[in-house]
Structure 1
Amino acid sequence: MDYLGLSFEQIDEEAATALLRGRRADMAFAYLVTPNVDHVVRLSELDDDAPEARAYLLAAWRLCDSRVLSLLASLQGIALPVVPGSDIIHRLLRDVIEPGDRVCLIGGEAGDVDLLQAMRPEAVFVQHIPPMGLRGDAGARTRAARFAVEAAARFTLIAVGSPQQEMIAAEMHGMAGARGTGLCVGASIDYIAGRESRAPRWMRRFALEWLHRLLVNPRRLWRRYLVDGPRIFLLAWRFGKTSSADRPGGH
């Protein structure tokens, strides 16, 4: 379903888990992204041929990671299932990974690979930790992408923040020999490691996860949620006006 410049998959968590279960290590590389409000607002300022924008357009699957985005879509008659990246990683680790699978983690902190290995000791985990400033360091992104390709993993978890994680996945997509499935997972590894806490279920149910994150880390997130984020309402309003004009009898 097309909404605010992106084509989202209309599948729920169970269908997404089944999709990943069917992906083998020897398949041509494809990757999954989970856009949220922050991503959509940032992409609205870019041309489709900008590297950041192409990283989302090249993704095989785009799953909505925002209940606010889903709510806005529903008010405009569009069904946009919410499948948070952190929930997908939980299901991947619990229900999808099989004995002998190789899993590559790009990002995280030292020791995270050991934590994942302890969770699924029958699989093989490897990790590459890129340097800071990855968004403006094309060479470091290429090294991360090459490490992942050479790891020959069934699943590659790219956890270095957006848009750099999507740009690494897009670079992998263009590399010879790339196989398996990439997942741009944002802060999911931080949740698993206990460095960040998810919002209580009731806050998630009422689309208030953003408020929980703002209260926990106001210095880092105040601009994202209080200045940049609210622009999503203008984008949704413009989308509604355009959609109305495109319908028969629209003005």
Structure 2
Amino acid sequence: MTARRNFLDLDFDPLTPEQAEAWLAARGQASPFAYIVTPNVDHMVRLASQPQAIRAAYDDADLCLCDSRVLARLAKLADVALTVVPGSDLVAALFDRVLKPGDRVCLIGGGPDHVTRLGERYPGIVVLHHMPPMGLRTNPAARAAAVDFAARSDARAILLAVGSPQQELLAHEMKADGRVRGTALCIGAGIDFIVGAQVRAPHIVQKAGFEWAWRLASQPRRLAKRYLVDGPAIFPLVWRWKRSRGR
């Protein structure tokens, strides 16, 4: 595998979407546990002020893939070449081309309607669902229950749809537990796009790096603070990081 590339003190795997999909396809139900994180601008801004336990959850991921074209362009300004593998595309590839009839998927988060729609669209895939309570980040007992469910599910893929950084923390604890097999993906709202609960931006908008604006226009109440207030903090972070390395 190509050597990782450091940006904002996080090591990214410079895989293409096709290489990431091939990595997923090579892993089966009995594979030793591994997990994938897909940081975007929002993740990187929050990581700058998160405790070490959250940072460790990203550092220990088996694959760290850049989810954001905006983040990749900022990295390029700091002379770091990052490939982009959107998490939503990776989840779609998982269901469309990687999973086979009879494969088991453990979904942690989401809702019963997600399970129903997944069953309708992918009738050969067995979906096992666990819905943890709110406040997962500060509820060790609830996280332990989710880890136990994943271990008992005997699933090829474990989809963590409980938001960041809860999902990354949960994946890290699954790895430490030792009983879980298969591959976990920290997917955020990735299932929403698969089942049609949300609509992706047109491909031309994605390629231009304006998917964030599409999502903001679609959900202004939920995303305005993330994109317009919190997100711009990425610019001084990149400037300071680049300056500290003499780039």
Identity of aligned residues (%): 49
**Corresponding residue for 1:26?**
30
Return the letter of the residue paired with 1:173.
Answer: K
2:78 aligns with: 76
Aligned to 1:132: 134
The TM-score, its normalising length taken from structure 1, stands at: 0.92
Q: Is the 8 Å Cα contact of residues 98 and 122 (structure 1) preserved in structure 2?
A: yes
Code of the aligned partner of 2:201: A
Give the alignment partner of residue 43 of structure 1, picking from 40, 43, 47: 47
Give yes or no for contact 1:33–1:183 (8 Å, CA) kept in 2.
yes
C-alpha contact (below 8 Å) 1:149/1:178 kept by paired residues: yes
Tell me, in whole angstroms, the C-alpha distance in 2 between the residues paired with 1:161 and 1:33: 12
Partner of 1:248: none
Helix, strand or coil at the partner of 1:179: coil
Aligned length, in residue pairs: 243
Task: Show the counterpart of 2:106.
Answer: 104
Give the unaligned 5+ runs of structure 2: none
Distance 1:241-1:132 versus aligned 2 partners, 3 A rule: same
- 2:107 partner amino acid: L
What is the TM-score of this pair, normalised by structure 2?
0.94
Q: Deviations over 1:111-151 (max 9, x none)?
A: 31222223322232111111222232222122112101110
Among 205, 213, 216, the residue aligned to 1:214 = 216
Q: Hey, which bits of structure 1, 4+ residues long, moved more than 6 A?
A: none
CA distance in 2, matches of 1:123, 1:222: 36
RMSD: 1.4
C-alpha separation in 2, matches of 1:5 and 1:215: 31
1:66/1:84 contact within 8 Å kept:
yes
Determine helix, strand or coil for the equivalent of 1:230.
helix
Aligned equivalents of 1:164, 1:103: Cα separation in 2: 19
Q: Structure 1 residue 51: deviation in Å?
A: 2.0
Is 1:11 matched with 2:15? yes
User: Would you say the 8 A contact 1:56–1:166 is kept in 2?
Assistant: yes
Give 1:152's aligned residue: 154
Post-superposition shift, 1:188? 0.7
Residues 5 and 44 of structure 1 are in contact (CA less than 8 Å); yes or no, is this contact kept in structure 2?
Answer: no
* 2:75 matches 1:65: no
